[in-house]
């Protein structure tokens, strides 16, 4: 009798394992191993803007060595930065920036800092748009309608 109970229990266990293995075989490969996330760069954002038809030229991608603010890669600062010009404005007028941060909190802190510094200085006023850990800053030479184009393109990029 004990032998029959053992054989029945073994049969149930094996059948359960086979069913579980069969279920795992039918799972799509994407569920089995999630793909690693791609690190977004400032150049990726600008490339997206260009694909959206925004008139961009003179792109400068910064490194820790050539960042004029000496903030790139420093604690709680941006981890990627690029400047670009909008061709609807003279090159000396509309210097715009994309900054990527390690966290959304760091991006918000940067936005808040820039707003605090520039709010009482009309010559330094900028449009700023935040999407997650991406901050874009647009020169005041950009019109409100043009800035809205950038905001929509950023929202589409951030999805």
Question: What pLDDT does 153 receive?
Answer: 97
> What is the domain partition of the chain in residue ranges?
2-32, 42-158
Q: At what angle do helices 42-51 and 144-158 cross, to 10 degrees?
A: 110
Question: What pLDDT does 111 receive?
Answer: 96
φ, ψ of residue 148 to 5 degrees: the values are -65, -35
Q: Which residue has the tokens 């330094």?
A: 124
Cβ-proximal residues to 94 (8 Å cutoff; 6+ apart), any chain: 85, 86, 88, 138, 139, 141, 142
Collapsing DSSP states into helix, strand and coil, what is residue 1? coil
Question: What pLDDT does 13 receive?
Answer: 44
Q: Can you name the CATH fold of 42-158?
A: Gyrase A; domain 2 (3.30.1360)
pLDDT digit string (tens) for the chain, length 159 residues: 444 444 444 344 444 444 444 444 444 544 555 545 568 999 999 999 999 999 999 999 999 999 999 999 999 899 999 999 999 998 777 789 999 999 999 999 999 999 999 989 988 889 999 999 999 999 999 999 999 999 999 999 998
Dihedral class, residue 132 (left if φ above 0, else alpha if ψ from -120 to 50, else beta): left
Taking residue 137's Cβ as centre, other Cβ atoms within 10 Å add up to: 20
Burial of 118 (0-12, 13-18, 19+ CB in 10 A): middle
Question: What pLDDT does 95 receive?
Answer: 86
């Amino acid at each position: 009798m004990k032998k029959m109970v053992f054989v029945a229990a073994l049969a149930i266990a094996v059948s359960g394992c086979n069913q579980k293995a069969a279920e795992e075989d039918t799972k799509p490969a994407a569920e089995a191993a999630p793909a690693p996330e791609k690190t977004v760069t400032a150049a990726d954002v600008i490339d997206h803007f260009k694909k959206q038809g925004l008139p961009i030229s003179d792109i400068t991608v910064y490194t820790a060595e050539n960042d004029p603010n000496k903030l790139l890669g420093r604690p709680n600062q941006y981890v990627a930065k690029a400047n670009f010009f909008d061709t609807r404005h003279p090159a000396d007028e509309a210097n715009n920036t994309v900054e990527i941060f390690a966290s959304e909190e760091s991006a918000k802190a940067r936005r808040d800092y820039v707003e605090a510094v520039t709010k009482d200085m009309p010559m330094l006023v900028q449009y700023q748009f935040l999407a997650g850990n991406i901050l874009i800053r647009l020169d005041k030479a950009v019109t409100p309608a043009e800035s809205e184009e950038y905001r929509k393109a950023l929202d589409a990029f951030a999805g």
